Amino acid sequence: MRYAFRSLAGVFPALALLLPFALPAAPARASMEVVAFGDSGYAPGTIVIKTSERRLYLMIGGGQAERFPVGVGKAGKRWSGFKRIERKMLHPDWAPPSEVKHDIPGIPDFIKGGTAANPLGVAALVMTGGDYAIHGTNRPQSVGGFVSYGCIRMLNGDIAQLFPQVSVGTPVYVEP
């Protein structure tokens, strides 16, 4: 499945009436915690997503990691493997892939970034291949569940905190 992370202004002018999200100036740190991470094989700056735990770990070194709750792929949509961060986007636009359009026929073909209707939230870290991203969400209650089509959902405050710590090229390991 290929997500279209693009920027096309004016496709749905009515969406401009929706209130935009803003990248928080001082993101909430409540859901992130520094924890011991037993696998010392990961270099600092590496992202490890443990799907079964529904947690994302950003390795900080010294056997420690920042841990964030995430929403992950629902049954039949989960995946594991290695990717890298390919692009970083603030307030990304979103075009639902055909699979989402099939499941939700009434969804618009394009949703402007920064609008309340945009499911990518305040930021996205697009992984190699362009199929999946680590992104915020307009549905915070979905974080912690098996809910997505393969993307990794974070609370908007959490992705805002993670975003500046991650560079293009950052390795991402997704474990079952």
The ranges assigned to domains in the chain are 13-175
In this prediction, residue 172 has a pLDDT band, given cuts at 50, 70 and 90, of very high
User: How far apart (Å, rounded) are the C-alpha atoms in residues 110 and 6?
Assistant: 9
Residues identified as active-site: 135, 151
> Average pLDDT of 3-28?
38
- CATH number listed for the domain at residues 13-175: 2.40.440.10
**What's this model's pTM, rounded to 2 decimal places?**
0.83
> Average pLDDT of 33-48?
91
Model confidence at 30: pLDDT above 70: no
| Residue 143 pLDDT | 97
Amino acid at 52: S
Model confidence at 17: pLDDT above 80: no
Q: CB-based burial of residue 33 (10 Å sphere; 0-12 exposed, 13-18 middle, 19+ buried)?
A: exposed
> Average pLDDT of 18-46?
68
Q: What angle do CA 109, 89, 54 make, to 5 degrees?
A: 85
Model confidence at 146: pLDDT above 60: yes
